Amino acid sequence: MEVNFYKYQGTGNDFVMIDNRDESFDVRDLDLVRKLCDRKFGVGSDGLIAIQLHPDYDFEMVYFNADGSQSMCGNGARCAVAFSAFLGIIEDKTHFLAIDGPHDAMLVGGQVELLMGDVKGIDQKLGDFFVNTGSPHHIRFVEKLDVYPVFAEGKSVRYDSGYAPAGTNVNFVQGLADDEVFVRTYERGVEDETLSCGTGVTAAAIVYGVQHNQNSVKINTLGGKLSVKFNSNPDGSFSKIWLTGPAEQVFSGKINI
């Protein structure tokens, strides 16, 4: 079969994007999703996003990890907003639906500002921290993150029995200043380190920001720079969480698969 696609990246987290307003792409065909994401036999990406029509929203983002599993994707959502603007579905503001609920977003000078879902709080887990930002994220603070064994340590925490059966994404965080961190992430569903993870850096920024009394944190990833700002609430929850960063179209094409 022939599939028309676009390829996007948000700080190096890369996605096959499908304009599925006509529902010609069967989102139940997980073998097809996996094949398209395969870096040797398909287009190659960390995930796949289908943009679909929804009666109550500008669009619905249907996200899959490269292995066909589903969760919320922050970088993918930023790319979905840029793609929807490219398709003419939205202008510079949008209200859309993702797997974790409704989101607002704005396109501002080449950056996409995305309102994340509220976060219930920060938990302690396996001697580190855990935050759910629409996807589950383990947060560990380390030194010398540039040479840290992210794949080996990430895989070990991801498959720890304390997170079974769903597993978790694992973020390693090094503080650079009171309001700046370097983050590397092992992603569940990709089963590898990715160059950036939007829900992961959001979780890292919240934990680090609370520790350093900041509500705005600059993020460095291997794939580029992001920023996160948030409100801390008296009950330990967090709201008005904005994730901001670039989202770019890389190429488009047709694949016979």
Determine whether 257 is exposed, middle or buried from the number of CB atoms within 10 Å of its CB (0-12, 13-18, 19+): middle
49, 18 in Cβ contact below 8 A?
A: yes
In the window 113-152, what residues touch ligand LBFN2T5F (CB under 6 A)? 135-136
Q: According to the binding rule CB under 6 A, does residue 75 interact with ligand LBFN2T5F? A: yes
Q: According to the binding rule CB under 6 A, does residue 52 interact with ligand LBFN2T5F? A: no
Name the residue with tokens 């289908």.
50
- CB burial of 57-78 (b: ≥16 within 10 Å; e: otherwise) equals bbbbbbbbbbebbbbbbbbbbb
Cβ nearer to ligand LBFN2T5F, comparing 42 with 200 = 200
- Position among 42, 117, 154, 189 found at the interface with ligand LBFN2T5F (CB under 6 A): 189
Catalytic residue ranges: 73, 197
Looking at 127-203, which runs of residues are DSSP E strands? 128-132, 136-141, 169-177, 180-187, 192-194
Least Å from the CB of residue 112 to ligand LBFN2T5F: 12
**Is 65 known to sit in a ligand binding site?**
yes
Q: According to the binding rule CB under 6 A, does residue 197 interact with ligand LBFN2T5F? A: yes
- Position among 198, 209, 223, 246 found at the interface with ligand LBFN2T5F (CB under 6 A): 198
Alpha carbons 243 and 225: distance in angstroms, whole number:
11
Cβ nearer to ligand LBFN2T5F, comparing 42 with 134 = 134
Q: Checking DSSP bridges between strand 216-221 and strand 2-10, what pairing results, if any?
A: unpaired
Alpha carbons 11 and 189: distance in angstroms, whole number:
18
Q: Which residue positions form the known binding site for substrate?
A: 13, 65, 74-75, 169, 187-188, 198-199
Q: Which residues bind ligand LBFN2T5F (CB under 6 A)?
A: 13, 65, 69, 71, 73-76, 135-136, 169, 187-190, 197-199
